[in-house]
Structure 1
């Protein structure tokens, strides 16, 4: 039976980097077959029960990680579990466990979301230092001011933030319809950027991440595996 390092097993299933997995392990927060283990290099297999004791999350050893794209529908929360709302994981009811969403989209935001069981890969997608481009289409309450192109390209200081946003690219598709490319993922960033300029986002859809576009024929709530070429982009 194939084995892998404990830190890689935790990273793949828990949604963290190998370094973060190592910290959890050295703190004694990971158990193997009920026994706390502090050796990140320990080899485990599918016959072992590996658990993150910090959040009582069981993880499993897999030979090959999985990568999916989901067209997230509105009204579902980006989480693995929630007591009030349906989660994006309800779309994957026929898949084996261990999957988790990469990053997040708001409850009322739809569009492209990655789901995987590879924590290191997820970390590469979301790490701020990588400045992965994310493209959104937004319907606005008021017509977009052409001057927003220069304002967003220069970065805007959002309420409660200490640093301005990274330069963003704005394309006006129609008076009240815009396409915005951002290179970071701050809380409610797109909505807050327009709010800072006196406008309101009525609806929001993410249509691309890092060069991978949401297919037009992938309906809300549907998903498909990423191709090996797509997964290799991160």
Structure 2
């Protein structure tokens, strides 16, 4: 897991990193006497401070944004992107400082619901999404046609998807009902679950991600709600 650097940082740079102010605006705030460090007004933008210093802007405390690990219960109609001209994004559901620094570790389609992980820790995100790390993703799937045992066998061997040169990695399909199943995959190809069933002549009508690795969607989170991961949940992903 990434750690926050303890190296001192310039006050103007620190202020710009924990707020939406630009460096030039941060310098103006500092020079105007609106910033205190440890209860003392500081007017020098170049002054070095510790990253864990007590910094206030007009009496309001500021904090450094360290690595963040968040789970979100994604509803339909939102896309997993930082911004989009036509659709709302998962970041629109969040009330976070510097949300643009967060990115999704394993995207979901606009009409797919369930667990989304967001972080600003690149190494952790890579561990979640890389097929080589074998971080399994579990989906609850409903289909238009009956799911056959033949599909179960094909998925366990890997299937060829249209326009892809290699088979999918072996997947685990647990048939729960005629048109209901739980699918576990360790890849994240474009529209993979839908394309896998499509390769079997079936269509996915509803798709919900329940878990990523050992991290399961919190049952207490309503659609559109999120929470920070626990230390154990973060540590369950080996970087």
TM-score (norm 1): 0.73
What is the distance in 2 between the residues matched to 1:90 and 1:113? 14
What is the distance in 2 between the residues matched to 1:146 and 1:2? 56
Specify the SS of the correspondent of 2:104: strand
What is the distance in 2 between the residues matched to 1:122 and 1:62? 20
1:210 matched residue in structure 2? 213
What is the distance in 2 between the residues matched to 1:105 and 1:125? 14
1:3 matched residue in structure 2? 7
1:116 matched residue in structure 2? 119
Structure 1: tracts of 5 or more residues without a match:
6-12, 14-32, 35-43, 47-60
CA separation of 1:225/1:199 partners in 2, compared to 1, >3 Å: closer, same or farther?
A: same
* Partner deviation per Cα, 1:179-228 (whole Å, 9 max, x = no partner): 00001111111000000010000010000000111122211101111000
What is the distance in 1 between the residues matched to 2:127 and 2:210? 19
1:91 matched residue in structure 2? 93
- Which of 115, 136, 144 is 1:133 aligned to? 136
TM-score (norm 2): 0.72
Farther-moved stretch of structure 1 (204-213 vs 114-123): 114-123
CA RMSD of superposed structures (Å): 2.5
Is the aligned partner of 1:186 residue 2:189? yes
What is the distance in 2 between the residues matched to 1:184 and 1:102? 12
In 2, are the aligned partners of 1:2 and 1:63 still within 8 Å (CA)?
A: no
Specify the SS of the correspondent of 1:121: helix
Aligned residues between the structures = 185
Shift of 1:3: 2.5
Structure 2: tracts of 5 or more residues without a match:
10-16, 18-22, 25-48, 52-62
In 2, are the aligned partners of 1:99 and 1:115 still within 8 Å (CA)?
A: yes
* Partner deviation per Cα, 1:128-176 (whole Å, 9 max, x = no partner): 2112100001110011112211111011011111110111000111111
Is the aligned partner of 1:73 residue 2:75? yes
Q: Which runs of 4+ in 1 moved over 6 A?
A: none
